[in-house]
Amino acid sequence: MDFDAARAILRGNDLGTYTVPTKGLYPFQWNWDSAFTALGWLTFEEGRAWKEAQAMFSGQWDNGMVPHILFHGPSDSYFPGPGIWGAESGIPSSTISQPPVWATAITLMLQRSSASSAARAAVRDLLPQLIDYHLWWYRDRDLDNTGLVESYHPWESGMDNSPAWDAPLARVPRVEWGYQRRDLNHVDQAQRPSDAEYDRYLHLIELNRQHRFEPRRVAPASPYRVIDIGTVAILQRATHDLINLCREFGQEESVPELEAELVRTGKAARRCWSGEYRCFLNWDKISDAPLREHTTAALLPLFGHLADAGQAGEMASLTEQWLAASEFSLASTHPRSPFYEPQRYWRGPVWLHVNWMIADGLRAYGYTELADRIKQESRKCIMAAGGYYEYFNSETGKGCGGANFSWTAAVALFWFQAG
């Protein structure tokens, strides 16, 4: 594998303090992209990795939220821009967040850093912001302290058009005003969400703006309220890592509250377990029912250490069957689903950062061979596609979405190269 090419991608997408996921299609800083990308930077330019984190947290809102997009500078190659989101203060940004992988990324960055005194100083500075970010999730995305954070927009899950969101999204009205999608200037429509989905994404952005981004006003008004089990799992893992950072850096006063959240989520997640599906399921808050769909979010509780040994065994055997169901794996939607589309964004293609999290979870539960198989399958995608694409067709391995993609290059550096 050409790791020089992977490094060149990060350098090419580097705008000084932050890295764009790919030029044109995504010309700003994205939250979870940036966390994985920082892990890639760390393998060859440590100082740059910490800068990436600092740039992301420079856009943190006063209430603790770290937005999913920071519009650091102008660009007309992306829609919807800051005017549509309507946030008014600080760095122009979107008004929702994204799966909170940062505390885990920072933990790994610290462990893998050779310049440890600089790394420790960076962590010390970032720690209060990380704590505020996690407390924001528990306060503003779990209004009734259920232990399961929810979201009011599919983009907050990062898995925008997952078939798991089809039913809740169908309840959302379509906007009636005209607009021009810019993503289709860069990527074939067959690999992107539909216009009907975009109309509804925009409605939810509008609703959030009308209610001044106040979850206590948004939640009762929103036709879309979903518990994304992927976000729940990533938050759980990241809170566990954050507690360790707090202990290591003398911030013990935050530990009891964070620990109480860990326990609450650990218990509440049991409700999402499905013996029939052999995994945890996403949940629709409005109909109060599970969203019965095998998407890779359903396997992320392994990364969050939310499964007991028996559940992990069931999930491991499900994963084996899932791996066998397409030539390139893990397909983001199980190939046996009627909604599976091997090249359409989150409806089937393979995403390497998700594969890394699932493999990491399997390894923690002792399924080392299976974790290695996922790693092999992930390498195979890059080799078949001949490059570091945003995602990969799960039947052919063909590169899909944006080319020269930061998180895919980063995953190759921190997973395949560094081990």
Binding site for ligand DGY (CB under 6 A): 68, 155, 160, 183
Q: Smallest distance, Å, CB 329 to ligand DGY?
A: 22
Is residue 45 annotated as part of the catalytic site, yes or no? no
Comparison of 138 and 351: residue with beta carbon closer to ligand DGY: 351
Smallest gap from Cβ 106 to ligand DGY, in A, equals 22
Residue whose CB is less far from ligand DGY, 161 or 282: 161
Which residue number, 32 or 283, has a Cβ lying nearer to ligand DGY?
32
Q: Please, what is the end-to-end C-alpha distance for the chain in angstroms?
A: 14
| Nearer residue to ligand DGY within complex by CB, 158 or 361 | 158
Q: Which of 103, 169, 164 is nearest to 137 (CA)?
A: 103
Nearer to ligand DGY, 86 or 266 (CB): 86
Nearer to ligand DGY among residue 150 and residue 160 (C-beta): 160
**Rounded to whole angstroms, how far apart are CA atoms 173 and 196?**
10
Residue whose beta carbon is closest to ligand DGY = 155
The tokens 């065994």 sit on which residue?
313
Q: How far is the CB of 160 from ligand DGY (least distance, A)?
A: 5
Nearest to 24 by CA among 187, 189, 188, 186: 186
Task: Give the nearer residue to ligand DGY in terms of CB position, either 142 or 160.
Answer: 160
- The 3-class SS string of the chain reads CCHHHHHHHHHHCECCCCECCECCCECCEEHHHHHHHHHHHHCCCHHHHHHHHHHHHCCCCCCCCCCCEECCCCCCCCCCCHHHHCCCCCCCECCCCCCCCHHHHHHHHHHHCCCHHHHHHHHHHHHHHHHHHHHHHHHHCCCCCCCCCCECCHHHHCCCCCHHHHHHHHCCCCCCCCCCCCHHHCCCHHHCCCHHHHHHHHHHHHHHHHCCCCHHHHHHHCCCCEECHHHHHHHHHHHHHHHHHHHHCCCHHHHHHHHHHHHHHHHHHHHHEECCCCEECEEECCCCEEECCCEHHHHHHHCCCCCCHHHHHHHHHHHHHHHHCCCCCCCCECCCCCCCCCCCHHHCCECHHHHHHHHHHHHHCCCHHHHHHHHHHHHHHHHHHCCCCCEECCCCCCEECCCCCHHHHHHHHHHHHCC
Q: Least distance in Å: CB of 1 to ligand DGY?
A: 26
Beta carbon of residue 85, minimum distance to ligand DGY (angstroms, whole number):
11
Q: How far is the CB of 68 from ligand DGY (least distance, A)?
A: 6
Shortest separation between residue 208's beta carbon and ligand DGY, angstroms: 14
Q: Out of 14, 142, 160, 197, which one is annotated catalytic?
A: 160
Of 52, 293, 341, 390, the active-site residue reads 390
142 HSE (CA, 13 A, CB side): 20
Q: How far is the CB of 364 from ligand DGY (least distance, A)?
A: 28
Q: Catalytic residue at 257?
A: no
Kindly tell me which of 136 and 155 has the beta carbon lying closer to ligand DGY: 155
Cis check: omega of the bond before 80, within 30 degrees of 0: yes
Residues recognised as catalytic:
160, 390
